[in-house]
Amino acid sequence: MNMTDAFYEYGRRDQVFEFLKPVQSPMLDVAKGYILYLEDISVSFDGFKAINDLNLYIKEGELRCIIGPNGAGKTTMMDIITGKTRPDSGSAWFGQSINLLNMSEPEIAQAGIGRKFQKPTVFEQLSVFSNLELSMSGAKGVFATLTARLTGEQKDQIDQVLTQIGLLDQRWLDAGSLSHGQKQWLEIGMLLMQNPKLLLVDEPVAGMTHQEMDRTGELLTSLAGQHSIVLVEHDMDFVRSLAKQVTVLHQGSVLAEGSMEQVQQDPRVVEVYLGE
């Protein structure tokens, strides 16, 4: 694919990057220390109850790990938070003033919620730097973005994110030449360009080397505090290495919650998940 075709192809994907429009996140009322509230959420698909009276509360700056067997409702839960799926009942609030159930997917992203899917989606024929630049481009087209002149503040922001994700030395490499783990970090960086308050991260270490897993754990730990992070992950060693608080989902509800040590000792968790 030549660059003209690439611009055309990427331009058709602008809708995907509606989620990456730069906006100023609203001031959130987190007086009680919580940034995300899911209360009595239920949703059914063709008679199957994917989420069943789910209650989940995430604190500002917290890194929360969500675990559970396949079909527990983890992906559906994240779909509800981001507006992809509408629940049949319940309420979902971001802070104490933003009703997520009244908002579209782009509006939720602009409000300060970023989602990282399991499979990284980056512009492989463009450089690492350009991928980050595009993620802060807003409504401008790809060609206009890549021919525009960055301000010093914008360059500093990109350099800061490159340093955070450990790709400063790879800034001019095509994203397609990166390892799987590096692509995952780049996509996290693309979300960071939007200064999200809440990051939803889905199985980031699947397919990674041990070294990449360690680096990913360091990255997520470094982001917690400045951002709230909800991490869905199946690798229990990885979860154990960084989670202070773990939520176990089963059949669309919270089965157990607490430290990794506490949930590991819960006989219900051992029966439905850890004992598999």
User: Which residues face 68 on adjacent strands?
Assistant: none
43-to-47, 107, 200, 255 alpha-carbon distances in Å? 9, 21, 20, 17
196 is a domain residue? yes
> In 3-state terms, what secondary structure has residue 11?
helix
Q: Quick one: pLDDT at residue 102?
A: 93
259 is a domain residue? yes
Q: Quick one: pLDDT at residue 86?
A: 95
Number of independent structural domains in the chain: 1
Q: Quick one: pLDDT at residue 146?
A: 56
> In 3-state terms, what secondary structure has residue 196?
coil
Query: What string of DSSP letters covers 203-235?
Result: -TTTT--HHHHHHHHHHHHHHBTTBEEEEE---
Q: Which domain holds residue 22?
A: 3-26+62-73+112-274
Q: Quick one: pLDDT at residue 29?
A: 45
Q: Quick one: pLDDT at residue 58?
A: 95
Q: What is the pLDDT along the chain (276 residues), one digit of tens a residue?
A: 444 444 444 444 444 444 444 333 344 444 468 899 999 999 999 889 999 999 999 999 999 999 999 889 999 999 999 999 999 999 999 987 899 999 999 999 999 999 998 888 899 999 999 999 999 855 455 555 555 678 888 899 999 999 999 999 999 999 999 999 999 999 999 999 988 999 999 999 988 999 999 999 999 999 999 999 999 998 888 999 988 899 999 999 999 999 988 998 899 998 888 665
269 is a domain residue? yes
> In 3-state terms, what secondary structure has residue 167?
coil
- Please report, to the nearest 10 degrees, the dihedral formed by the alpha carbons of residues 29, 35, 39, 43 taken in order: 120
Q: Quick one: pLDDT at residue 251?
A: 93
215 is a domain residue? yes
d(C-alpha 182, C-alpha 219), whole Å: 12
What tokens were used for 262? 């506490």
Question: End-to-end alpha-carbon separation of the chain, Å?
Answer: 45
139 is a domain residue? yes
185 is a domain residue? yes
Which is it for strands 228-232 and 245-250: parallel, antiparallel or unpaired?
unpaired
User: Which residues face 92 on adjacent strands?
Assistant: 38
45 is a domain residue? no
Contact 50, 84 (CB under 8 A): no
Contact 163, 191 (CB under 8 A): no
CATH number of domain containing 261 = 3.40.50.300
136 is a domain residue? yes
d(C-alpha 59, C-alpha 206), whole Å: 26
What tokens were used for 265? 């000792």
Q: Quick one: pLDDT at residue 119?
A: 81
Q: What are the strands, taking DSSP E only, across 46-189?
A: 48-59, 63-67, 89-94, 98-99, 113-116
Query: What string of DSSP letters covers 94-128?
Result: ETTTEEGGGS-HHHHHHHTEEEE-SS----TTSBH
Contacts of 86 (CB under 8 A, 6+ apart): 43, 80, 101
Q: Quick one: pLDDT at residue 136?
A: 84
Q: Quick one: pLDDT at residue 23?
A: 39
Q: Quick one: pLDDT at residue 117?
A: 87
Contact 131, 190 (CB under 8 A): yes
